[in-house]
Amino acid sequence: MLIRIGYDIELGVAAPMTLLYLLRVHPSRAADLVAPEALSISPALPVEDYLDAFGNRCARVRVPHGVETVRLRNHALVRDSGLPDPVVPNARQLDPGELPVETLPFLLPSRYCEVDSELLDFAWSSFGAVSPGWARVQAVCDYVHDRIVFDYQAARATRSALDAQREGTGVCRDFAHLALTLCRCLNIPARYTTGYLGDIGVPANPSPMDFSAWFEVFLGGRWYAFDARHNEPRIGRIVIARGRDAGDVPITMAFGDSRIRRFEVLTDEVAKAALAA
């Protein structure tokens, strides 16, 4: 399967500033690109690419005086297996003493994931009797899926996992934050993931497309994707970045006054007929 991805993002800029962005396909999927991503920036400003502490591809742009808009565009084709997320019911939960040391940061509290809060007791009282491993993570997903009502109008950049638990509303990042926090409370390493997820193999959503957020847990010696918002295996996840929570992986981070003027995201399956044409 080939999946077409891309975006067109335009920021209004009020003064000279620095802009960071995480908008390239994650290195783990780089080999699946049919050709290098066609990322462009208007006006043509110098871009400094770098890898962050989590291995994500990032960039820094210095926006000079006189520039009023910055436009970021990209498109690419990505090869994908076309298979849904794997489901491995016998994947084992490892004791913290058995875990690879690189997974340990994903057991700890982070900016939006308050492991050291009332969620700790709630997690054990609600899910402690569920068999450890895959079944326990799925029970968390089932709970969060039912607990939070998806509402774009309720989006708030400062909402944490505890806020989502109390308010019962949010967007995909809030589903991910609450679910991964509950998993960390249960001693399961969990990390936040952002990327592309189109309506492949499911009914099309009429809402404008956006980047998506889900989470990954470490079970049985590897990471697996879970999605508390959709709560079903999906086809065509293309990772952009991974971190402890959304604070580690902002799509854009402007160090100055800016406003989003355009935000369009594309991800869909390319039909064979279109390729032949």
264 and 164 inside one domain: no
Geometric angle at alpha carbon 33, from 198 and 23, rounded to 5°: 65
163 and 192 inside one domain: yes
- Average pLDDT on 93-99 reads 97
Residue 201 makes CB contacts below 8 A (sequence gap 6+) with 84, 234, 235, 236
- Average pLDDT on 35-44 reads 95
Which pLDDT tens digit goes with each residue over 225-266?
A: 999 999 999 999 999 999 999 999 999 999 999 999 999 999
Which pLDDT tens digit goes with each residue over 118-135?
A: 999 999 999 999 999 999
Range of the domain at 8: 2-82+251-276
State residue 229 phi and psi, 5-degree precision: -70, -55
Query: Is the residue at 89 inside a domain?
Result: no
Which pLDDT value is given to residue 207? 85
221 and 110 inside one domain: yes
**Tally of domains within the chain:** 2
Residue 258 CA to residue 252 CA, distance in Å, equals 11
118 and 29 inside one domain: no
Query: Is the residue at 90 inside a domain?
Result: no
Residue 135 CA to residue 217 CA, distance in Å, equals 12
Which pLDDT value is given to residue 208? 84
Q: Where are the alpha helices (DSSP H) in the chain?
A: 118-127, 134-147, 161-167, 172-185, 272-276
- Average pLDDT on 83-90 reads 98
The gap from C-alpha 14 to its chain's centroid, in whole angstroms, comes to 29
Is pLDDT above 90 for 60?
yes
Q: Name the average pLDDT for the chain.
A: 95
CA nearest to 227, candidates 133, 170, 147, 142:
142
CATH number of residue 191's parent domain:
3.10.620.30
Which pLDDT value is given to residue 169? 97
Q: What is the pTM of this model?
A: 0.95
Which pLDDT value is given to residue 275? 53
Which pLDDT value is given to residue 271? 77
Is pLDDT above 70 for 277?
no
Is pLDDT above 90 for 205?
no
242 and 105 inside one domain: yes
166 and 34 inside one domain: no
Q: Pseudo-torsion of CA 227, 232, 235, 240, nearest 10°?
A: 0
121 and 74 inside one domain: no
Query: Is the residue at 94 inside a domain?
Result: no
- Average pLDDT on 27-53 reads 96
211 and 265 inside one domain: no
Q: Is the separation of the CB atoms in 227 and 214 below 8 Å?
A: yes
C-beta atoms surrounding 165 within 10 Å: 22
Which pLDDT value is given to residue 276? 44
